[in-house]
Amino acid sequence: MSKYIFTTGGVCSSLGKGIASASMGALLECRGLKVCMIKIDPYLNVDAGTMSPYQHGEVYVTDDGAETDLDLGNYERFTQSPLSAANSITTGQIYQEVIRRERAGQYLGKCVQVVPHITDEIKRRIYSLGEKPGIDVTIVETGGTVGDIESIPYLEAIRQIIHERGKKNTCSVHLTLVPEVAGGEVKTKPTQHSVKAMREIGIQPDVLLCRCKEELDEGLKKKIALFTNIDFDSVLSAHDVNTTIYEIPASYHLQGFDRVVCEKLDLKTKKAEIAPWVKLADRYKKDGRKVTIGMVGKYTLLGDTYKSIDEGIVHAAIKNNVDVELVKIESDELEDREDWQEQLKSLDGILVPGGFGERGIIGMTMAARFARENKLPYFGICLGVQIMVIEFCRNVLGIADADSSEFRPDGKNSVITLLEEQVDVIEYGGTMRLGGYDSHLVKGTKIHEAYGNDVIRERHRHRYEVANKYKDAMVDAGLVLSGFSPDGQLVESAEWKDHPWGVGVQFHPEFTSTPLKPGPLFDEFVKAVANNKKD
């Protein structure tokens, strides 16, 4: 019978349930187990696709095209768990399906209620993944905090699963806050109340992760264990790490997290082989060449908006022993600065990420031109390659009004245009080119050198493409079109000639980069930045 671990949170949100769940998955994989990761988001949206980056952060895209919560990115970076649309559960999806069945008469005239109909649909989705052949442990992370009205149906469904499957096949891991008040005193009362709220719902946590600034001492752990009815060795310290989040699996392992979970689930496994994670943290701590990369984007004020790109840079920096300072620059603020060139001169490389809408486009174009003319390594992702093309057409081809039809719908020279099949689309949810697509690379180009393959597969999330009628003129003027869709109709990547490293891609390589296997383009970009500065 498959085993289930349920990760919940208390006191407040954003304590790190995603990292804790991913680290747990990594440790179980180190013991030879196959895990399945599931994220539950209590919001009523069907998916994260239409949510503002300022409110929700990054939209993570799976290979099958699902637009999901950024925690799924942590799952892919830490574990080998295969992820798809089914691994992301939202309240919008649950109610949409239950209402569809009710309208179709599948409930045979019964009064449709939260219990059992909503909870049954939640359980069905969890079981449909957890009972797949080969899965040893399914880790289910529930967003929000205990006490939130939105989370109640999910906690009830979890309670039912624990009752149905038994304590030997289920484990409740509760992450809570142990704050430090004025004078440095650590308070355990919020944690006690959080566990009390869980028990009132009918769930007794088996493992408690105590989020805190410094590692908890034995006395505090004993106090928490006593007042929460949790075994002493199951009260663990989720304290801050001073290096990288990729040190967290090793930190939890030292406290016996994986051992405790395996004992509670009656799992007989091999000894955990965590050497790769220990080596990764050790490499991060080593002093390396110092470089500064500027990310010129639209949503840089919120730290999680470009989470996967941030981590892709970290992965490459660790591999190449480079100490990267990533400077976030709001592109529209760059437009208003008289000393903008001085700001860009302080950088060793420039990265322009994705985004939607006209705001800040001028600032991105200024950054791309500066990088091209000053031989500064440049990496354009999604919108970043479109900016690269627009800037080239304006300042090299001499098409002064070159633009994207997204920003100037009535423009005469739209070098970036809407996909033909999307012209009449009104709804914005799930209407883009989403998920994994193959790209055919041109030999002798920097992108081909980075991947070492003629055909690659990366994930997309965009509506607009390079206009085909301008391609020949771009190539004649010196722009290298280095990657295409399998039918040759869509441009997937572009490069600058006679430049240290100027590459733009229509896809999102950050979604497949991991700390143990950095994305090839991030690897080459960071390497080029370091070498260019050295030269």
Classify strands 479-484 and 35-41 as parallel, antiparallel or unpaired. Answer: unpaired
The single-letter DSSP state of residue 206 is: S
Domain 3-280 carries which CATH code? 3.40.50.300
Evaluate whether 3-280 and 287-534 have a shared fold: yes
Burial class (CB in 10 A: 0-12, 13-18, 19+), 428: exposed
Burial class (CB in 10 A: 0-12, 13-18, 19+), 299: buried
Q: 479 with 392: CB under 8 angstroms?
A: yes
Residue ranges of alpha helices (H) inside 81-178 are 91-103, 119-130, 152-165
Q: Which of 29, 315, 508, 524 is catalytic?
A: 508
pLDDT score recorded for residue 419: 64
> Rounded to an integer, what distance in angstroms lies between the CA atom of residue 459 and that of residue 138?
25
C-alpha distances in angstroms, 69 versus 72, 211, 368, 372? 6, 22, 30, 35
pLDDT score recorded for residue 183: 79
pLDDT score recorded for residue 430: 45
Helix/strand/coil (H/E/C) assignment for every residue in 320-359? HCEEEEEEEEEHHHHHCCCCHHHHHHCCCEEEECCCCCCC
Ranges of each domain in the chain: 3-280, 287-534
> Rounded to an integer, what distance in angstroms lies between the CA atom of residue 439 and that of residue 462?
15
Residue ranges of alpha helices (H) inside 183-330 are 189-201, 218-228, 248-254, 257-264, 275-285, 307-320
pLDDT score recorded for residue 420: 60
Smallest Cα–Cα separation from 24: which of 229, 192, 339, 261? Answer: 261
Q: Which amino acid is at 220?
A: L
Q: Pull the structure tokens for residue 203.
A: 């769930």
- Our answer to whether residue 382 is catalytic in this structure is yes
Q: List, for residues 251-282, the tens digit of each pLDDT value.
A: 999 999 999 999 999 999 999 999 999 999 99
Q: Which of 210, 212, 262, 382 is catalytic?
A: 382
pLDDT score recorded for residue 427: 46
Residue 46, SS3?
coil
Alpha carbons within 13 A on the beta-carbon side of 476: 7
- Our answer to whether residue 508 is catalytic in this structure is yes
Q: Which residue in this structure is represented by tokens 């990533």? A: 326
pTM: 0.93
Residue 378, SS3?
strand
Q: 523 with 320: CB under 8 angstroms?
A: yes
Measured torsion, CA atoms of residues 517, 299, 143, 118, in degrees rounded to the nearest 10: -110
At 363, phi and psi to the nearest 5? Answer: -60, -40
- Our answer to whether residue 358 is catalytic in this structure is no
Q: Which residues contact 355 (CB under 8 A, 6 or more apart)?
A: 297, 298, 299, 382, 383
The residue ranges of the chain whose pLDDT is under 50 are 422-430
Architecture of domain 287-534: 3-Layer(aba) Sandwich (3.40)
Q: Which of 247, 492, 510, 524 is catalytic?
A: 510
pLDDT score recorded for residue 422: 45
